[in-house]
Amino acid sequence: MVGNPMARTTGPLTVAIVDDHPVVIEGIQTWLSEEPRISVGHTGEDADVEPGVADVLVLDLNLHGRLVIGDIATLAAAGQRVIAFSQFTEQRVVLEALEAGACEFVAKNEGRAHLVNAVLAAAGDRPYVTPTAAGVLVGDRGASRPKLSSQERTALLWWFQSMSKASVARRMGVSVHTVDVYIRRARVKYAQVGRTAPTKADMLARAIEDGLVKPDDITGYESAAVGVG
């Protein structure tokens, strides 16, 4: 496991930012500076960074006109936690980034709170699903998609529609916490499909530790159909 183990709880954590527009780097720095636990270390314009450069790498998906999904796979394979941060929100791009081993996908227009939450969650190997990512996952009709329970699908869909977990909770008649569990559990199921990566394994291990999923559930996507609740 790469990075500061302390970051898995609530201690300080380091973030690296890679984007080909300096104004975006500065913007992200400003956003993150409001969160005392986060300190920004490396910043740069190239995906060519050493794995372990920081606890979490915020990576622009499109650097100098090139999609860097391949770099995500390389970094994730070396255990680097990556948050894909992009203005490209096409379904294929988001799914490929997650499949390559990115911890989260955050759309550039989703704002500060989502990025900060994603960074904090990723540092603890915990899933965080932005409304955009929720829309992508619930609209996934790919052959290798994991089987989600109907509550998980509903939570993802309504989170995407309303962008308010409180609204979703009221509509589903459950607590906000339960809505969050459904959403995170759906995301964890995606860590079980496709190629393996240390970042995915860490997320699964953490989900078991947190009691989000049971070890029995982690048996590959064929039989990962068990929905609870």
Partner 1 sequence: MANGMIATRFAMAVNIGLVVIVGVWHLGLDTLLMLRGWQEYEPRAAAAGSWLALAVIQTVGSILLLRSALGGPIARWLAGASLVTGVVATATYPAGGMISEVSWAWNTVGWFGVLLLMQRPLWELVVLLAANTAVTVGFLVADGALDQVMLSRLLAVTHTTAGVQLTFAYLARQLNDGAREATETAAGQAERLARATADETVHAERRRRYEYLRSRVEPLLRGLAERQLDPGDTVVRHRAAVEAARLRRLFVETDDTPHPLLHELRACADVAERRGVRVTLLSYGDLPDLPTSARGELAEGALLVLAAAATQARVTVVTTPEDVVVSVVADAPPETLVESPGQLTVSAVYDQEEDQLWWETRWPVRPAP
What is the binding site for partner 1 (CB under 8 A)?
87, 89-91, 109, 132, 135-136, 138-141, 153, 157, 160-164, 166-167, 170-171
The distance of closest approach from Cβ of residue 128 to partner 1 in the complex, given in angstroms and rounded to an integer, is 18
The distance of closest approach from Cβ of residue 105 to partner 1 in the complex, given in angstroms and rounded to an integer, is 12
Of the pair 33, 150, the CB lying nearest partner 1 is at 150
Q: How far apart are CA 11 and CA 96, in angstroms?
A: 31
Of the pair 162, 196, the CB lying nearest partner 1 is at 162
Bridge-based pairing of strands 56-60 and 13-18 is parallel
Q: Which residues pair with 40 in a beta bridge?
A: 15
Q: How far apart are CA 24 and CA 156, in angstroms?
A: 28
The distance of closest approach from Cβ of residue 201 to partner 1 in the complex, given in angstroms and rounded to an integer, is 27
Classify the C-alpha dihedral 49-89-166-199 as positive or negative.
Answer: negative
Of the pair 22, 142, the CB lying nearest partner 1 is at 142
The distance of closest approach from Cβ of residue 146 to partner 1 in the complex, given in angstroms and rounded to an integer, is 12
Q: How far is CA 96 from CA 33, 111, 138, 178, 224, in A?
A: 30, 22, 15, 28, 20
Of the pair 50, 90, the CB lying nearest partner 1 is at 90
